[in-house]
Chain A
Amino acid sequence: LMLCYFSSCSSWLPQRVPLRGSHWQSSLLELRTSLPVRAQPKKKKKVDVKKEQAQKDRMKKKLKKLEKAAPELIPIEDFIPPLKYSDSSRVRSLPALSPEESERRVLLLKKWSVFKQKQDEAEKNAIKCLVESQQEALKELRLESEELYEAAIRRDEGLFPFQRDGPSYTPPLPGYDPPEGKCIDITKVYTQ
């Protein structure tokens, strides 16, 4: 408020420098932290601003360059064969099979393929039965009430996410006291 009052009487002075025109203002340094030398402050500010601008531009350029590079997928270690198997000079020689052995193998293969075919057919049958019974149930529901049918047709939000651990060979041992320990994650971190 003081500055505005004083700037009108002496306009040739820069706005920032407070005037010591009044008796309530004890020192010039009250409103400013640095000593107000006339020409110096202006130059400092200009150079600073320019430097800052140049720095910002450099950073923007760097950012643009980095953003231009497409993101890469992390390489999968499973699909990279380990180096110790790259030596292709070693060749394995298999022993010759007797006719009984080859006969036995062919018959086994046939039995296996029949077993797998039955398994696959059973699965397809199961799917067909499930779908059929579901359709029948929905048809009956529709006859019962249209509203319930509409609600049943909609997707279930609670279905996903769905988690399940695979079955185990044996049930958990009762009263088993596991030893204390910890797991350290030593996965290699790839950076671009």
Chain B
Amino acid sequence: MADREERRFAEVSRESVKLVAEGAGVELGDDVAALLAEDVCYRLREATQSSSQFMRHAKRRKLTVEDFNRALRWSNVEAICGYGAQDALPFRSVKEGELFFIEDRDINLVELALATNIPKGCAETMVRVNVSYLDGKGNLEPQGTVPTAVQSLSDELLKYYQQITRAILGEDPHLMKVALLDLQSNSKIAALLPYFVYVISGVKSVSHDLEQLNRLLHMVKSLVQNPYLYLGSYVRSLVSSVMYCILEPLAASINPLNDHWTLRDYAALLLSHIFWTHGDLVSGLYHQILLSLQKVLSDPVRPLCSHYGAVVGLHALGWKAVERVLFPHLPAYWANLQAVLDDYSVSNAQVKADGHKVYGAILVAVERLLKMKALSQPVEGGSSGLPATVVGAVGYRVSSPGLSPPPEPLSEAALGIASHLQAGGAGCPWEEWTPVPLPAMYCELYSFFGDSLAVRFSTGPDFGSFPTCTPSQLRDARKEAPGNASNPDTTRKMPQLTANLNISPRQDGSPRTDPPPPSLAVTGAARALARSSSSSSSSSSSSMQRSRSSSSRSGQRSAGLSRDVFPKARFTSPQIGPPAFTFIIGGRQMGRRCQGRRPFQTTFAPTPPLSAIPPRAYAHKLPVIGRVGKPVRRWACSHYSLHLPL
């Protein structure tokens, strides 16, 4: 056998047989081993042949382990277990022993059993019908590739295609609207899908033209929303086009007058929309998106607008994405951002302005992260604090259709993400990721953002009301000594979230273990009550009361933790300027972008006309674009947030 020249089949060598025998504690003679080897080969071939029959009848081209096992079973041989996995099994060799083996990693059963990442069951099997060929005519081109030429379509479709693209990319806004609308509802354009996708992939060539980019993105949106289109693997292509708009330092961004920020926001929104509605079409999509976002974020060479894109992208993908990517990455990133923000030189003004954008975006993302996290961890959230946060978060969700990924019932979203993460399997950078408990997270974040975080965090639903604030209220609020700074805010807010755990950033002097003021629980509950009854007046009063109660502690606060982190940015001149209404824009965006920033604005729920509050509480904290003095103001006024009537 061994000296056979022509090897037509894979053969098990005599040596292998001997080795295996040794493994089983049997010594084999050469001749016996040779005989055995030959027989083993023959039986293997025989089994392989019969297993191919199972493959043929299953109408497959690929022979599976299962086929082989069936063949074995029918010939009364025990099936071989453990090779059914989808992924290729790594085959290793050990030099010394000339041994080959399959690497078999241990699986932690306990971990597996207790895993909270419950995979979303695979999509249900279904049957869909489409008319492929009418009267025996149709597109003879095999579908599924992006065509290079548009010639092979039927005349009608070709005409349609030309009209549509011309309308969308043309000058007439009305025409464009009509075209987009049709694209969104036309049921017969499946054949054109590859062409449209191809057109959209042209984003890379028009990166200088914001208008065109915008139109192309709208085109994506229409395609995605068309219920008759099965996007299939084209999702990938669409996503990459959208990602391009989110992340790339577009040529259009060079001119600061171009509002590429809005484009990025819109693209991010679109991304989340695609993902939530079509994410299941491409496996591992979520991962790839997260990876590329993370890559951009961790690349300091990239311009700030790319970072901004990454942050909004993560934000749009949901709070889990923020938690997994942005949050762990924040400490590293913060240093860079801080450096930008702290550079007051004139030449840096533009960059700094961009930096503030990023800052704002991160803040919003982080805020939602905290809220959602609080919401999703009822146990940790604490009995007293929770109801309020829940309500707040819900209000937030409801009121911000633009911001949160559109159809995102909470539970589903969580599952979806979890399953995707799990699907990623080995090699995923988040594998070793462990969830940070909410309080710890808050703490850490607080160390970056200071009170601006707290303010945002506590106030979700009420912000819409600023415009209604009367000057007197403002004055009233301001009476609460600005000097007291933001401490009351923190104390107030923190217990809300973490009452049980007592971790809250405090002023240096105060012991960390300080029990929360008993009154807090009470007020928290009261607040919840008030909220649920949705009476604006009661809520305002209760909040007032609370603010007062907590104000007693306010004095303690001085620079605090946050100060070390932001030594320069804060505290320079605490009292400057009435913060008043600037924060309408969400505090972060000012100037030209205001109108466009709908997503961020909408974070503020429309609320009952608000009494007591501190629109200015907001104003202060915002990094104001391009102006050196602003951060200061933000800091100075942050204490006002304490008085938010909740």
A and B: bona fide binding partners: no
Q: Which residues of B contact A (CB under 8 A)?
A: none
